[in-house]
Structure 1
Amino acid sequence: MANQMIKTIVLIDDHPIVREGLANLLNSVAIYKVVGEAGTAKDGIEAIRALKPDVAVIDLMLNDVLALDLIEQTTHECQNTKVICVSMHSDAAYAQPVALAGASGYVNKANASKTILDAIDVVLSGALYFPKEVHQNLLNSVRGIKTASTPLMSLSSREIEVLRWIGQGLTKHQIAEHINRSANTVEAHRTNIKRKLGLQSNAELIRFAALNLPSGSV
């Protein structure tokens, strides 16, 4: 098979065993070649910039941090690289922010060995690979229809990330360090989140976050 038909892939996941399994699976397909791997967002974006792969497969949770910034960086800086996000969480509330961050696909990690090849085929064809309800919400947003299958759907990708840290009991200053923003910015996010979710107090916000975004669920 001609070399120009080979599609290159970079894997970014903080679990070496997961990367090894995916690499073995993908390299078993004649037209796919894993050309790079990384375990952190920093190493991941460097690999993507250097290798300019056709596809970047990115774990949504990297070292306990949502990888939304990495997804946004990749889609902004390397527009020819298609991003597929893998996550332990199958809820569309997580897939929606991933789509808004610019990813072309979203795969449940538990089923990745069965679905990742289909997902890569689909995104390389120029289409999207997301749960059905996410497709509908994206379509509705284009049409100007405001809808959400869950309360979380009303939140932006950054607000989802901030809410998750709130649920883990972090202060606004600690959250600011995690997302590399000021404490005032975090407070603004908290205010917007409460408004969107119809919550009146910080206590209600913490309880909602703890119930809806449990630690380690992504």
Structure 2
Amino acid sequence: MIRVALIDDHPIFRSGVRGLLGETAGIEVVGEASDGRHALDLIQRTLPDVVVMDITMTGMSGLAVARALRDTGSEVHVIFLTVNEDLAFVDEALTAGAQGYVLKRSAGTSLLEAIEAVASGGRYVDAEMRATPAPADRTEAGPPAPHPCEEGGLTGREREVLRHIALGMTMKEVSLTMSISVASVDTYKIRGCKKLGLRSRASIVRYALGQGWLETENRRPASDRPPSLM
């Protein structure tokens, strides 16, 4: 069992990643934190094998957390899960002590591979960032994530139902949020999954992450978000 801690200041995105990992055999999410300072305390208390962490956070950055872990001799493996596609950040991340670098838009297809790679002592650099050599004996790269514009001919309703499901909502919660019946939610879910070839909640989460649906939610002003999602 690989014990994983999630560190990200976007609760909606964190929820999606937790849903993805929670349905993956062999992985256990042991804790979450929303900023770097709480991350250090969480890591000390839960002793995870792998930390999946954003780079840019309020207060203490992910890079600062990685350096602190490195300097104290911690054996935890760090994967940065970030929107930052600047190649210079890959070198900076690895120098700070990280073993993995995954883009958030690739999380649905690459994060699980990254966790397995670093947990077994290797390193992992996102396929989109392969222009930067990774100083490791086991560099891996996952398949490309779906392009944000490729949404399989989904209708607006189908997209919203699948997005809410990826956020971890139940059918009843989706029904209340969208003001439609549970039967309608089920219909839109079935139609959307059939169009995209999705067969489980985990596959829905992977697709949502790849499409950037959860990142879109994070960028909405807090006053515009449905209260039930917070």
TM-score normalised according to structure 1 size = 0.57
**What corresponds to 1:27 in structure 2?**
22
Task: Show structure 1 runs of 5+ residues with no match.
Answer: 1-5, 140-215
**Superposed, which structure 2 residues align to 1:39-58 within 5 Å?**
39-58=34-53
**What corresponds to 2:9 in structure 1?**
14
User: % of aligned pairs identical?
Assistant: 32
Structure 1 residue 93 and structure 2 residue 91: aligned? no
- Given the alignment, which residue of 57, 75, 82 partners 2:77? 82
TM-align CA RMSD: 2.0
Which sits farther off after the overlay, 56-65 or 87-96? Answer: 56-65
- Given the alignment, which residue of 108, 123, 141 partners 2:103? 108
How many Å apart are 1:77 and its aligned residue?
A: 3.0
Contact 1:52 1:78 in 2 (8 A): no
Contact 1:75 1:83 in 2 (8 A): no
Letter in 2 for 1:109: K
How many Å apart are 1:125 and its aligned residue?
A: 1.8
How many Å apart are 1:64 and its aligned residue?
A: 7.2
Report the number of matched residues. 134
Separation in 2 of the partners of 1:106 and 1:112? 10
Task: Show structure 2 runs of 5+ residues with no match.
Answer: 137-218, 220-230
**Superposed, which structure 2 residues align to 1:33-182 within 5 Å?**
33-63=28-58, 66-77=61-72, 79-130=74-125, 131-135=129-133, 138=135
Distance 1:66 1:76, change over 3 A: same
Which sits farther off after the overlay, 120-129 or 98-107? Answer: 120-129
TM-score normalised according to structure 2 size = 0.54
Separation in 1 of the partners of 2:131 and 2:59? 26
- Higher RCO (Cα < 8 Å, 6 or more apart): 2
How many Å apart are 1:38 and its aligned residue?
A: 0.2
Contact 2:36 2:60 in 1 (8 A): no
**What corresponds to 2:152 in structure 1?**
none
Distance 1:112 1:78, change over 3 A: farther
Separation in 2 of the partners of 1:91 and 1:15? 21
How many Å apart are 1:135 and its aligned residue?
A: 2.1
Separation in 2 of the partners of 1:47 and 1:7? 16
How many Å apart are 1:91 and its aligned residue?
A: 2.4
Separation in 1 of the partners of 2:63 and 2:15? 23
Separation in 2 of the partners of 1:77 and 1:29? 31
Structure 1: which 4+ aligned runs deviate by more than 4 Å? none
Separation in 1 of the partners of 2:48 and 2:73? 9
